[in-house]
């Protein structure tokens, strides 16, 4: 008799606590900020006054990168351009065809991580 009462109480507690949440699955959407995230790259000016851009992860040729750097004997230079070739992980590439940059000044380079597929609506 006591066992039956304990089972009944346990079943009632289960029904009261768990049943309201059954069938109410929450849809988890990725945050939109992470889908269009600004990711910084390594950037430096070499001894030949050329821009070098690198990444911790491999990047494909044609990826749009953004950068700002100070020109030699002039102001700041900002541009968006596609990568001329693949960047292997933890290495950098020299981007040619640009004006000469100031060795002593810093530069910044970044790209926007875009989603491969559209986020669910």
Cβ neighbours of 103 (radius 10 Å): 13
83's tokens? 């990568």
Work out the pLDDT band at 26, boundaries 50, 70, 90: low
Q: Choose among 45, 36, 47: nearest CA to 110.
A: 36
Which pLDDT value is given to residue 77?
94
pLDDT digits (tens, 9 = 90+) for 56-109: 889 999 999 999 999 988 899 999 999 999 999 999 999 989 999 999 998 999
Indicate the average pLDDT of the chain: 80
Could you tell me which residues come within 8 angstroms of residue 99 by beta carbon, excluding any fewer than 6 positions away? 71, 72, 77
- Quick one: how far is CA 85 from the chain centroid? 20
């Amino acid at each position: 008799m006591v066992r039956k009462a304990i089972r009944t109480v346990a079943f009632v507690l289960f029904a009261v606590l768990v049943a309201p949440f059954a069938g109410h699955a929450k849809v988890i959407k990725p945050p939109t900020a992470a889908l269009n995230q600004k990711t910084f790259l390594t950037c430096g000016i070499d001894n030949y006054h050329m821009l070098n851009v690198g990444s911790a992860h491999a990047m494909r040729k044609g990826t749009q990168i953004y950068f700002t750097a100070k020109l030699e004997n002039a102001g700041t230079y900002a541009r968006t351009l596609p990568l001329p070739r693949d960047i292997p992980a933890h290495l950098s590439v020299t981007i040619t065809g640009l004006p000469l940059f100031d060795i002593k000044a810093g530069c910044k380079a970044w790209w926007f991580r875009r989603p491969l597929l559209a986020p669910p609506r």
